[in-house]
Amino acid sequence: MSKIALITGATSGIGKATAEIFADNGIDLILCGRRKDRLDELSEKLGKKVKVHTASFDVRDKEAVFAAIENLPESFSKIDILINNAGNAHGLSTIQDGDIADWEAMMDINVKGLLYVSKAVIPGMTERKSGHIINIGSIAGKEVYPNGNVYCASKHAVDAINKGMRIDLNQYGIRVGGIHPGLVQTEFSEVRFKGDTEKADNVYKGFAPLKGEDIADIIHFVVTRPYHVNIADLVVFPTAQASSTIVNKSL
Ligand code: NDP
Ligand code: 8X3
């Protein structure tokens, strides 16, 4: 029987690429994100390969998260794989110049949103004593870089939540792993710089960044290991990158 994966942030970047590779490999999909038009478009495309259900909600909206997950159609209700991917950076500035609305967005989406979705999905997994959760962190959850302050804090929280989930869900045989990418060219920097595409493009100039597909490929690898193998924690850089701040612009 094919597996069912719920992917948050499936409308773009890493989440969308993950949906595509899962569909190519026969994994049924619950696609989530706020942009319903994109969910519909992706569902139309991937629905030709696997069963697809879409759920459009803002992960900050607790009630909407629980309503969407608790009211899944019967055929999608047993979630095997949860990809906690939705998230973004909002702004890049010193702590003294930081915008409180940006701070709130990052903590509410990257941390609290991930917790709401997990809280809604985990009971089914513990009841069935089976499941696999992948939390998308970041190198920003392993290191702190200049002006990254609150985004880094949100991803350090994801790193801690990932470890905590693994410990607490171990007794149920549920696999939990974190994947922590470096620079991936998606809509991430456009969101960070509030639609300034020139500034966003500059982040990836002069070297070969990762693509959403590179991380998706790794996520697919992780979820297709034999049951006794749990890839618990993985940092993935483009070859040009050695740390948050060291990028070799000749590669
Ligand atoms: P994108 O901006 O391309 O995608 C972000 C996704 O998150 C979109 O599908 C978006 O959907 C969803 N999302 C954002 N806010 C919300 C919200 N409030 N409610 C529901 N969904 C939301 O960026 P990436 O693909 O790069 O980012 C995916 C994850 O990878 C994030 O957690 C990011 O922090 C992490 N990451 C990214 C790196 C990079 O360099 N790109 C590196 C390391 C980690 P919609 O707007 O439709 O709601
Ligand atoms: C995204 C990578 O270096 O911009 O999490 O924080 S970085």
Ligand 2 geometric centre to CA of 91 (Å) = 12
Pairing relationship of beta strands 175-181 and 132-136 according to DSSP bridges:
parallel
> What are the tens digits of pLDDT across the range 16-66?
999 999 999 999 999 999 999 999 999 999 999 999 999 999 999 999 999
- CA distances, 56 to each of 37, 200, 201 (Å): 10, 26, 28
Task: Give residue-wise pLDDT tens across range 146-200.
Answer: 999 999 999 999 999 999 999 999 999 999 999 999 999 999 999 999 999 999 9
Q: What is the tens place of the pLDDT at every residue in 111-157?
A: 999 999 999 999 999 999 999 999 999 999 999 999 999 999 999 99
Q: Is ipTM over 0.95?
A: yes
Query: Pairing state of beta strands 4-7 and 81-84?
Result: parallel
* Sheet-wide strand order for 132-136: 52-56, 28-33, 4-7, 81-84, 132-136, 175-181, 233-236
Strand partners, 177: 134
Q: Please say if 172 is a catalytic residue.
A: no
Residue 250: the pLDDT is: 83
Is a pLDDT exceeding 90 seen at residue 1?
no
Q: Report whether 51 contacts 72 (CB < 8 A).
A: no
Which contiguous run of DSSP H or E holds residue 14?
A: helix 13-24
For the domain made up of 4-236, give the CATH fold: Rossmann fold (3.40.50)
Residue closest via CA to ligand 2's atom 5 equals: 138
In the chain, where the domains are located? 4-236
Find out whether 2 and 75 touch, Cβ atoms under 8 Å.
Answer: no
Counting atoms of ligand 1 from 1, which one is nearest the CA of 181?
A: 43
19 backbone φψ class: left, alpha, beta (φ>0; ψ -120 to 50) = alpha
Ligand 1 within 6 A of 9 CB?
Answer: yes
Pocket of ligand 2 (CB under 6 A): 138-140, 148, 182-183, 244
Based on the number of CB atoms within 10 Å of its own CB, is 108 exposed (0-12), middle (13-18) or buried (19 or more)?
A: middle
Helix (H, G, I), strand (E, B) or coil at 229: coil
